[in-house]
Structure 1
């Protein structure tokens, strides 16, 4: 059985009256859902995120048939603006990174991370195994760049003087107090990046992650 065929089972178990209602709940066109169910196209990572966050679908079961179709507990998506906003944003693809409520795809009410600024998906493997592609991270904005936790992972945005960086990196102290040392956790990404603190436009500490099949 393929993951597309397993999605049909999810549709049946969620008791949606029509495919149109299910498509609307996933924020996709009915035609796109039809193409997925007919196995003309695959299920995107964004759709899997929505299935996990909105309906507690066990993505391991969806992809490989492992475990049960639904997880027993986990984050709850709020129709009202309650909880922390989730943004389906790839840092590498965005010219502008602004965490504004009207851009949020939905809100996630999950007590361990309700003091955070946003949820973001992880793309790429520069931070593997600390944060793997496909995981969802909870981040909190840091406004005082002189009080940082060395060795912790941050989402970092810089100006043109530091090549307009938008990345996830671990931060370490530099001998020059006006600079920071950035490092990947993946040993295949060797070499440090040095930036000026003044070049930082936005900084978010990663407070934790939601692995789709963690809970």
Structure 2
């Protein structure tokens, strides 16, 4: 891979085409080489960089032609059979931990205007944060307002991780909740609490001055992001 540029915007697109040619889902393709296989979608959509170590692991595992990945020229795969997906446990790359996470300087109003399917779509990260304990996250976002004081202060930066299975919720933890029309496309950071009706969820501010809970139906939630941690701007 020497002298090959794997930071091109087209690399993710080419990875997706390779994956599709092999007839594999995102999970099937990335799980053997990444601890957080769902980050594969972010790489394919050019929202997360493909690190050198992860690139090497993917190329070696599937015997991908590095020139095709870098330039789109030549055959997708090298000659010889690729390693089968079900060949047993593999040594997972630490790249999933070491890959930096994009920071998006988006205000709540900007998030509100975005399609709930992917609130980070069509956004360009201002920079990438390489803080290993949170490198399995989806994105960093700034905190605005004081509804979640003292848990999160305005000006701090939160690290959010997309929830793969929204049926499994850590009650009492803070989430970024993305809803669709049924809940007026609301996007909010709130503590989630169990409702006596299993079809509903309670959203609660941590600031005691914000009285009153928000109750929504589970079906109104489009995407959930667990807030795994926070940093202050001077730490970035």
- Indicate the TM-score class for this superposition, using the shorter chain for normalisation: 0.5 to 0.7
**TM-score, length basis structure 1:** 0.59
Residue 101 of structure 2 is matched in structure 1 by 84
Over the aligned positions, Cα root-mean-square deviation in angstroms equals 2.2
Equivalent residue in structure 2 for 1:129, among 150, 172, 189:
150
Aligned mates of 1:107, 1:100 — CA distance in 2: 16
**Residue 101 and residue 118 in structure 1: after superposition, are their counterparts in 2 closer, same or farther (change >3 A)?**
farther
Residue 231 of structure 2 is matched in structure 1 by 210
| Contact 1:113/1:138 (<8 A) preserved | yes
Q: CA deviation at 1:101?
A: 7.9
Residue 131 of structure 2 is matched in structure 1 by 110
Residue 201 of structure 1 is matched in structure 2 by 222
Stretches of structure 1 that go unaligned for 5 or more consecutive residues are 1-77
Residue 166 of structure 2 is matched in structure 1 by 145
Stretches of structure 2 that go unaligned for 5 or more consecutive residues are 1-47, 52-98
Give the aligned length.
138
Q: CA deviation at 1:143?
A: 2.6
* Cα deviations by residue, 1:100-131 (Å, 9 ceiling, x for unpaired): 48622221111010010000000011001100
**Residue 98 and residue 172 in structure 1: after superposition, are their counterparts in 2 closer, same or farther (change >3 A)?**
same
Runs of 4+ more than 4 Å apart? 78-82
Aligned mates of 2:178, 2:123 — CA distance in 1: 21
Q: CA deviation at 1:212?
A: 3.1
Match of 1:98, SS state, is coil
Q: CA deviation at 1:164?
A: 1.1
**TM-score, length basis structure 2:** 0.54
